[in-house]
Amino acid sequence: MSTAVEALRDTPFTVAGRTFHSRLMVGTGKYQDNETMVRAIEASGAEIVTVAVRRVDLDRTKESGVLHHLDPRKYFLLANTAGCYTAQDAVRYARLAREAGFNDFIKLEVIGDQETLLPDVQGLLDAARTLVGEGFKVLAYTNEDLVTALRLEEAGCAAVMPLASPIGSGLGLLNPYGVRTIKRRLKVPVVVDAGVGTASDACLTMEQGVDGILMNTALASARDPVGMAHAMRLAVEAGRGAYLAGRMPRREVAVPSSPLEGLLD
Amino acid sequence: MTDTIDVTINGEPRVVAAGATLLELLASLELDPRAVVVEHNRAIVRRPHLSGVTVADGDAIELVHFVGGG
């Protein structure tokens, strides 16, 4: 017999053999202060948090290191190659990130266009092949193109991360069909990365059946980042639950919910 | 004979003591070697080896760490 509790049962979210309890991953950039960031991450329930690799500020005009605020024993640090425009740069950043000593996961970004921050898929594939060959667990940020996603999987990526819409845009899920198709065709986890703006975007994205969502600006640029983090946590769970439950078919005509029998003459 | 050399650290010209190791360089910058990753002339130098690499005139050194990002 099916119960409500059973309906919520889910398979674990596993990437490269590692299982995580939350399907929501969050970034650590652009918060107005570190205390808000820490509280927002806490409220999001996320276990995987992304970080970037940058030069140390030698003059100490500001303390930019994120590890002063985040406990790496509590969170799984996923370093990114954000800001890289070539495969060589991305490989260089990935190697530096791994040397920091936390794990061999890398969120691979190779950007092809400064205005849209859309990925350079050729550079992405080149870097992915190199990094997989060096033993990295590559989570590749890509667009919603199926063929690129298939090539990234063939290259040995641990997860493929199509965008909902451009990084930091908050435009939401622009191509549900593309994302759904990638999820249907790939065996590795599909995590939507970038573009989610508010809770309904996150819910709609999870309803496509993807394995998770990674977001940053939607929390950091909300009026109340902690409140939005909580809303996103619920939205990801709701969207996942609705996907697992299976939505009703769409119909172009009305179908009455009340019986047609027993109506008065 | 000079007792200093010119190097580039994080893209900035710097004058450091001749004969300094990378570990001594980090100490002079008051950086905890556990909190930074060191790239020396484009090659990563692992923490245990920082005391065994001497900085030479003209070297390019990058000192990086994790910052907030998406």
Q: Is the pLDDT of residue A62 over 80?
A: no
Nearest to B66 among A27, A30, A100 (CB): A100
Cβ pairs bridging A and B (under 8 Å)? 94
B51: tokens are: 């005391």
Exposure string for A235-264, b = 16+ CB within 10 A, e = fewer: bbbbbbbebeeeeeeeeeeeeeeeeeeeee
- The domain ranges of chain A are 4-245
Residue B7's nearest CA partner among B62, B57, B64, B63 is: B57
Identify which has the larger pLDDT, A116 or A72: A116
Give the alpha-carbon dihedral of A55, A141, A24, A69, to 10 degrees: 0
The answer to ipTM > 0.90 is yes
Average pLDDT over residues B46-60: 95
Nearest to A80 among B37, B62, B70 (CB): B70
pLDDT, tens digit, 9 for 90 and up, residues A217-248: 999 999 999 999 999 999 999 999 999 999 99
Mean pLDDT of chain A, nearest integer: 94
Interface check for A84 against chain B (CB to CB < 8 A): the answer is no
Q: Which residues pair with A259 in a beta bridge?
A: none
* Cβ within 8 Å, pair B70-A167: yes
pLDDT, tens digit, 9 for 90 and up, residues B9-51: 999 999 999 999 999 999 999 999 988 999 999 999 999 999 9
Q: How confident is the model at residue A112 (pLDDT cuts 50, 70, 90)?
A: very high
A30 is annotated as an active-site residue: no
Distance CA A65, CA B68 (A): 8
Contacts of B69 in chain A (CB under 8 A): 27-29, 50-52, 54, 80, 82, 216
Res B1: pLDDT: 52
Distance CA A212, CA A10 (A): 13
Least confident range of A8-22, A120-134, A146-160, B34-48: A8-22
* Cβ within 8 Å, pair A51-B66: yes
B:7-26 residues touching chain A, CB 8 A cutoff: 9-12
Average pLDDT over residues A255-265: 93
Q: Is the pLDDT of residue A182 over 50?
A: yes
Q: Which residues pair with A145 in a beta bridge?
A: none
**Considering chain A, what percentage of its residues have pLDDT values greater than 90?**
88
pLDDT, tens digit, 9 for 90 and up, residues A78-106: 999 999 999 999 999 999 999 998 899 99
Whether domain A4-245 has CATH 3.20.20.70:
yes
Do A118 and A109 touch, CB atoms closer than 8 A? no
pLDDT, tens digit, 9 for 90 and up, residues A5-57: 554 678 899 999 999 999 999 999 999 999 999 999 999 999 999 999 999 99
**Considering chain A, what percentage of its residues have pLDDT values greater than 70?**
96
Res A156: pLDDT: 98
Distance CA B18, CA B54 (A): 9
In sequence order, the 6+-apart residues with CB closer than 8 A to the CB of B36 are A56, B26, B63, B64, B65
Spell out the domains of chain B, with CATH numbers in brackets: 4-64 (3.10.20.30)
B:34-53 residues touching chain A, CB 8 A cutoff: 35-37, 39, 42, 44, 46
Q: Is the pLDDT of residue A72 over 50?
A: yes
In sequence order, the 6+-apart residues with CB closer than 8 A to the CB of A83 are A52, A93, A109, A111
Q: Is the pLDDT of residue B55 over 60?
A: yes
